[in-house]
Structure 1
Amino acid sequence: MDFRRRRLAVTLRNQLNYPLQFNPFVFSKIFLLWVAIGIVGGVIAGLYWTVLEGFLHFLAPIQGLWVIPLMAAAGLLAGFIIHKLGDPGEMDLIVNNVRFKGGHLEPKNNPSMILSSWLCIASGGSAGPEAPLVQVVGSTGTWIAKKMKIRGEDLRSLTIAGMAAAFTALFGAPLGGTLFALEILHHKHVVEYYQALIPAFVASCSSYVIFILITHIGIGPTWNFPVYSAPELNDFFYAMLYALAGTAAGWLFIFTVRQCRSLFKRLRVPIYIKMMVGGLLIGTIAYYVPLSRYFSHDELNILLEEQTTLEFLLILLVAKILAISFTVTSGWRGGFIIPLFFVGATVGLIVNNLFPGQNLPLILVSCMAAINACVTRTPISTIILLSTLTGFHHFIPIMFASLTGFFLAPKTPLINAQLGVKE
């Protein structure tokens, strides 16, 4: 025993006398792969966003009654693309493949995902580019891993790193995007893939820089939120109280999506017909409630700037929930995270109308955190994402609201693959 102690002491003394050196891991192949996936992800996200902005610039001026035939035609065309090039799947498939197929995301249907999602998002679908990009960049991570003959958990980690790079590029939050990519995979064990945390974070940081360089999007909050004063102790309790409204909206959204999903499953028609029908429904809603159109990246700022009545907000809430539900269940491509934040902000404004004189920034961020945590089961990353997107830098009230939405969520998650049952 004494011999071992003396040997350990000699070893430690020798190490302390070593000259300062870089950690050799920084120059290892696997670390450079993490960086490379982030760079590739940033380039893909940047080019995708640039082209999407071009489509939006071309299609956004089409307003009024013309919105209905436009969105019906867009759904039909996007459906033909999916029918001919292959169905790329949705978030359920991504989660299922990462969890039960060793992290293998197939890139063969990426052209179908890219082309169809451009049409769906640019024409006015109520779903954003986060889900398509997660599929594309995540599968690129799988492809790179296979080319480098990487197997096992390292392959899964590279796939998750690609997913995180995509989330980060769009949300502008490297830590939030990293945690979201990990949390979305399971609704209970948020650290199940803890070994992918550092790869995802490294890829997120490099993706973030490349995306900003390509798109020239500024660094700072995405939405113009009202200023929040220094938090008080009561704010934490108020945050949980306001979060009840956001959680109720989350339940309503999940119920609506399930009913719409059941409705479209009964339609025994090709996917392009389903998507055309979805386009007609979304377009009709957009005609009567224009603010429900698109995935709400810019519309949320408009909502915060306008003077709105309680009646308008209630109509907008119902219209937006229906628009998102029809979008994600009729085959239209896109993600519902940013649209959910819009719904949460609408609920917050309704609460503020019903009980004027309250702390508006706290109401808004509490409802937004609660609905997202309730629907996506991502309470930790929601805190960081919302703080980055809104400039609301006091974490603790958001934390209380996010956990309220998470723990009061329905037993069965909206993303079925989160249950842990192989599909």
Structure 2
Amino acid sequence: MYKLFSSRHYSALQYLLRWTIVTIPVAVAVGSMVALFLWLLNWSIHYRFAHTWLLYLLPFAGIAIHFLYKLYGQSAEKGNNLIIDQIHEPGAGIPKRMAPLILATTVITHLFGGSAGREGTAVQIGGSIAHWIGSLFKLNAKDLRIVLTAGVAAGFGAVFGTPLAGTIFAMEVVTIGRIQYNALIPCLIAGLIGDATVAAWGVQHTTYHIRYLTTGQTIYGHHIAVNFWLLVKVIVSSVFFGLAAYAFAKAVHGIKTLANNFIKTGWMIPAVGGIIIILLTLLLGKPDYLSLGVEPEYPGAVTIVSAFEQGGAHFFSWLWKLIYTAITLGTGFKGGEVTPLFYIGATLGNTLANIFNAPESLFAALGFIAVFAGASNTPLACTIMGIELFGSQHALLFAVACFTAYFFSGDTGIYSAQRKGVEKYSVDGSDRLMNGLFKKN
């Protein structure tokens, strides 16, 4: 027995038991609050569908959100970046008010038509609850970083129904190019239980289907798992997915900077943003780019789901959603960035599929995960998400799309608190390589 089990094995068992005890209440609490959030979000969206005049109150909703954060928000205003900062270096902590405040203000944003998502809300719920429970257990700084990471995994896994992607995302998002493997077990437990808790509350997630089955091709008598020309189309399209991710991150940060520089009265910023959203909707004559964009407000509306069908998106649907979301988030409304990125990616994928004569549903799925991979700098998590959402049939193409988009998305991202662990590529190294290859003898 002694030879089979060393002291390290007993230490590993103790570690597993300890983190299971700490993580389960975190994940159950996060999953329950995310379930409440998803229910309220669904109600707010359908209520606006039935009362379209609510859009005209969006500027006033923005003003209300501004004063809620001014009076009660304090450091919670930093949102996801505060959580990432605290994982890097625990300091003043995460206020308990962050969770209810972001939940309420995100629901307000969607109730009145703001174009935003839900991932940011779920992650902030996860971080806030994890920090609170971690303080109850009197965890030290090292363990507090781990429990915060687990809270992120629980929130992400719960809100999308992707526990494995939530696990990897929480470890991958903190530092670009590095994964925090010391948090693997707590994140895995949190992701699985957070997702199971949402399911136990009866909340269902949207399902997506790829109607294209690849059979690969035979080259010189040998079968390979992917069609060569399809792979080329995927790589070229993924460059555009990466550029779209870059444009989105730049647009959100740029609008925020412009608004702060040119509008000196704080509450006027969301008011102006709300007015611009109203004017754009009147100009386009349709509400397709408001709110989440998952369910149609009217028959024939462009949504994430419709992008998986032939003719399910217009040529510039992705660009309009990018503009709407950048204005909404850049002027102070609350919510996540991820679902709009899904919309941008899926509709851009649909457009590129038509250009390249490729399968719409497959390219919508590739854009869905790849634009998010580029914007968040989490290509591995997004590859896993593709497998969880769409199945493993196209896993190779998911990986190619996500890592190519990540490579071409630049050095920016939607999370300014991310630190750079490893360069995406080394220009100096490439120059030396090229000089060596073409050096004259």
Counterpart residue number, 1:174: 163
Cα deviation for residue 26 of structure 1 reads 8.4
> Among 280, 302, 307, which residue is 2:306 paired with?
302
Contact 1:267-1:274 within 8 A present in 2 as well = no
Name the CA shift for 1:413/1:128 in 2 (closer, same or farther; >3 Å).
closer
The equivalences for 1:12-411 within 5 A come to 12=3, 25=14, 28-63=17-52, 66=53, 68-87=55-74, 88=76, 89-101=78-90, 104-189=93-178, 191=179, 193-217=180-204, 222-231=207-216, 232-234=226-228, 235-287=230-282, 288=284, 289-298=286-295, 299-305=303-309, 307=311, 312-314=314-316, 316-356=317-357, 358-391=358-391, 393-411=393-411
One-letter amino acid of the structure 1 residue matched with residue 141 of structure 2: G
Aligned equivalents of 1:25, 1:296: Cα separation in 2: 46
Cα deviation for residue 48 of structure 1 reads 1.6
Cα deviation for residue 208 of structure 1 reads 0.9
Contact 1:171-1:385 within 8 A present in 2 as well = no
Structure (1/2) with the larger helix percentage: 1
One-letter amino acid of the structure 2 residue matched with residue 319 of structure 1: W
1:359-404 Cα offsets, whole Å, 9 max, x none, are 3333223333332222110000011112323346421111011111
Cα deviation for residue 43 of structure 1 reads 0.8
Give 3-state SS (helix, strand or coil) of 1:86's partner.
Answer: helix
Cα deviation for residue 233 of structure 1 reads 4.1
Identical residues among aligned pairs (%): 23
Aligned equivalents of 2:391, 2:287: Cα separation in 1: 27
Contact 1:247-1:367 within 8 A present in 2 as well = no
Give 3-state SS (helix, strand or coil) of 2:50's partner.
Answer: coil
Aligned equivalents of 1:236, 1:353: Cα separation in 2: 16
Cα deviation for residue 168 of structure 1 reads 0.4
Aligned equivalents of 2:147, 2:107: Cα separation in 1: 26
Give 3-state SS (helix, strand or coil) of 2:417's partner.
Answer: helix
Aligned equivalents of 2:279, 2:51: Cα separation in 1: 14
Aligned equivalents of 1:161, 1:399: Cα separation in 2: 24
Aligned length: 396
Deviates more, 1:272-281 or 1:136-145: 272-281
Cα deviation for residue 270 of structure 1 reads 4.5
Counterpart residue number, 1:3: none
* TM-score, normalised relative to structure 2: 0.82
Aligned equivalents of 1:29, 1:40: Cα separation in 2: 18
Contact 1:239-1:398 within 8 A present in 2 as well = no
Name the CA shift for 1:272/1:214 in 2 (closer, same or farther; >3 Å).
farther
Name the CA shift for 1:228/1:336 in 2 (closer, same or farther; >3 Å).
farther
Contact 1:379-1:402 within 8 A present in 2 as well = yes
Contact 2:168-2:380 within 8 A present in 1 as well = yes
One-letter amino acid of the structure 2 residue matched with residue 250 of structure 1: A
Aligned equivalents of 1:420, 1:108: Cα separation in 2: 30
Contact 2:98-2:124 within 8 A present in 1 as well = no
One-letter amino acid of the structure 1 residue matched with residue 61 of structure 2: A
Contact 1:130-1:167 within 8 A present in 2 as well = yes
One-letter amino acid of the structure 2 residue matched with residue 344 of structure 1: G
Cα deviation for residue 68 of structure 1 reads 4.2
Name the CA shift for 1:78/1:144 in 2 (closer, same or farther; >3 Å).
same
Cα deviation for residue 268 of structure 1 reads 4.0
Counterpart residue number, 1:415: 415
Contact 2:270-2:333 within 8 A present in 1 as well = yes
Contact 1:126-1:336 within 8 A present in 2 as well = no
RMSD of aligned residue pairs (Cα, Å): 2.7
Cα deviation for residue 305 of structure 1 reads 4.4
Contact 1:121-1:129 within 8 A present in 2 as well = no
One-letter amino acid of the structure 2 residue matched with residue 383 of structure 1: T
Name the CA shift for 1:270/1:117 in 2 (closer, same or farther; >3 Å).
farther
Gapped regions of structure 1 (runs ≥ 5): 1-9
* TM-score, normalised relative to structure 1: 0.85
Give 3-state SS (helix, strand or coil) of 1:28's partner.
Answer: helix
Aligned equivalents of 2:68, 2:393: Cα separation in 1: 43
1:228-287 Cα offsets, whole Å, 9 max, x none, are 333424143332122122122223223322331221111444443212222222233334
